[in-house]
Amino acid sequence: MAKNEIKNIDYMEKEELIKQREPFIERVLIVDDDPMIRDYIKDLFNEFGYNVKTVANGKEAINTLSKEYYPVVVTDLFLPDIKGIQILDFIQEKGGHSVVLIITAYSSADSAIEALRHGAYDYITKPFSSQILLHRVTRAMEKVRMDSIAQSLASRIVYATEEERRRISRDIHDVIGQSLAIIKLTLKALKNKLPQTDDIMSEINGLSAHVEETMEEVSRISKELNPSWVVDVGFSKALRLYLETFSTKTGIQVSSALPDNLSFKDPQFDIHLYRITQEALTNIAKHSDATKIEISLEFRDSHVHFSISDNGKGFDESSDDRKRGLGLIGMRERATILGGRVSIKSFPGQGTTVKMEIPYGKQDS
């Protein structure tokens, strides 16, 4: 990209452009093989308060992004070593939240469309003015800011949900659990006071057994609702107990490959992965007609790789609205809170697979 492909900005509008952005430090990574262009854009963006770093090729960009976070990346589509699309693919595979603007020539509009399909936020065609570039970056930064706010709100909603679950769990245990315990003791007292006839004893014993089963069910529900229980017993044990109960109640065979005695250093991982599994299995039981479910979790490349697959009827991703359902929204919100992402693959008659990739360091086991 030659320097004459950038038109000078009307600096009379400089103050207006600055006013459009809230005063906070914003980082931009510029990827271009032309040193004059890199220096020009860096000086321009620095003047508008951006924190800018420049690199000369795609491999340098990938190396930089593997170590540092840049909210906005501006890259030429055609670089001397790799295409800008490969930078996009790296960001997508990493599960990063960088917004990418592609710079391209008029003759490469098809490539720009391809870049958008690979996750680019926007593209700018040559020649372009400095004003256009600044406006696009301003808009990209605003998207990052709004996404950050949305993630914060999602975190608060999830936190409020867990607090409400905790309250309901406590009420179930304290109110319903104690009431059932009183009924159980009352039945025992009646058994000793009433005539010891076979029909009366049979009714009391049957009722006592039913109360005992209800108490166990109430205890199970109370534990599943309470997030602290998952942390106390550890993720692996809590999940295995849940899978055993789920399989018994639904008749669906569940196999799992989980590390033994796994508990995460951050208790939020225990809670969110447990809830994600609950939501996924509930969806399977409701919609899939599956007879088998496979669950696996492994640590690879400093990430947690978690997958849930079923052999159900599946669905057409292009036409089915289940990918936008509340269940998947909840799973994505929880994965996003942990800095990860969720993907779903399904085909009619071939089941469904939900995969999560969440960055994480060394686990406790």
- Which is more confidently placed, 3 or 93? 93
Highest mean pLDDT among 28-37, 310-319, 328-337: 28-37
Residue-level pLDDT at 125 = 79
Mean pLDDT of all residues in 209-237 = 81
pTM: 0.55
| Residue 254 pLDDT grade (very low, low, confident, very high; cuts 50, 70, 90) | very high
CA 44 to CA 252: how far, in whole Å? 61
**From the CB of residue 278, how many other CB atoms can be counted at a distance below 10 Å?**
17
Mean pLDDT of all residues in 340-349 = 85
Residue 71: is its pLDDT beyond 50?
yes
* DSSP calls for 248-312: HHH--EEEEE--TT-B-SSHHHHHHHHHHHHHHHHHHHHHT--SEEEEEEEEETTEEEEEEEE-S
- Which is more confidently placed, 324 or 346? 346
Which residue is it, tokens 């469904």? 352
Q: Please, what are the domains in the chain?
A: 3-153 (3.40.50.2300), 233-365 (3.30.565.10)
Q: pLDDT for 98-146, tens place per residue?
A: 889 888 775 566 777 777 888 888 888 777 788 888 888 889 888 888 8
| Residue 216 pLDDT grade (very low, low, confident, very high; cuts 50, 70, 90) | confident
Strands (E), the chain: 6-7, 26-31, 50-55, 72-76, 99-105, 122-126, 128-129, 253-257, 292-300, 303-310, 341-346, 352-359
Q: pLDDT for 270-293, tens place per residue?
A: 888 888 888 899 889 988 899 999
